[in-house]
Structure 1
Amino acid sequence: MGARADQPADRLIGRWQFPSKGSSVDIYQQGGLYFARVAKVDQAGERNFGLVKDSILIRNLRYDGEVWSGGRLIHPKTGMSLSAEVEMPRPDAITVTIYKGIKLLHRKFIMTRQAKQ
């Protein structure tokens, strides 16, 4: 077939909008790991979460064949380091789960793929 083994993992690459649609991240792959860099910040994202354009929000996600996990999110406002996991229920949406310690206590949010402009 000639398909590369990492192709399914690369579905994550692209620009993703936060639920408010005002701020977004660019997800890219480097050295087999996935990172999310803040691409656009609206006032709410800056005020509520401390987002800063071009800062790395999530680092070191690994694809295990189903989910991207093992990543770390450094909360821009508090500096707290949280575990991060990403699932892709459909090609235009990802579910990001962040948690500290045990996964039982977590926060989930859905990001949508931004169309190429």
Structure 2
Amino acid sequence: MFLLCFLLGAKADQPADRLIGRWQFPSKGSSVDIYKKGSLYFARVAEVDQAGEQNFGLMKDSLLIYNLRYDGEVWSGGRLIHPKTGISLSVEVQMYRPQAIDVTVYKGIKLLHRKFTMTRQEF
């Protein structure tokens, strides 16, 4: 029994799971909850301020990012659905510090991208 509890506890502490939590957009008014389902990571809109709603079309509880995979260094292979346009974009997430992630969004080639930093929201 002890071994089973130890193994289950170790599984939840995987390096990839550092991404799980609430992350604020650069403006600090809107945020997403990143969660894991199976071996994939998803981001659902948690809080929306007026600017996030007007400028980007964010809606509370809508799925923003889906199917991110961790390769040992970055979370990639996922898709972001732009809330205002409905366009599907590639997304990659890198964590340089436990309290900040860099999100890179691009369509087609990564050379043409938009990058922004999100900060972990403490409860």
Instruction: Name 1:73's counterpart in structure 2.
Output: 80
Matched, 1:56 2:63: yes
CA RMSD of aligned residues (A): 1.4
What secondary structure does 1:45 align onto? helix
What secondary structure does 1:37 align onto? strand
Matched, 1:24 2:50: no
Deviations for 1:39-77, whole angstroms, at most 9, x for unmatched residues? Answer: 000000000000000000000000000000000000000
TM-score by length of 2: 0.91
Instruction: Name 1:93's counterpart in structure 2.
Output: 100
Report the Cα distance in structure 1 between the residues aligned to 2:13 and 2:90, rounded to whole angstroms.
Answer: 23
What amino acid is aligned across from residue 50 of structure 1 in structure 2?
G
Instruction: Name 1:36's counterpart in structure 2.
Output: 43
**Aligned pairs, number:** 116
Q: 1:31 Cα shift?
A: 1.2
Unaligned 5+ residue runs, structure 1? none
What amino acid is aligned across from residue 90 of structure 1 in structure 2?
R
Q: 1:5 Cα shift?
A: 8.5
Percent identity of paired positions between Structure 1 and Structure 2: 82
Unaligned 5+ residue runs, structure 2? 1-5
Runs of 4+ off more than 4 Å: none
With 13-22 and 2-11 compared, the bigger mean Cα shift is at: 2-11
TM-score by length of 1: 0.95
What amino acid is aligned across from residue 37 of structure 2 in structure 1?
Q
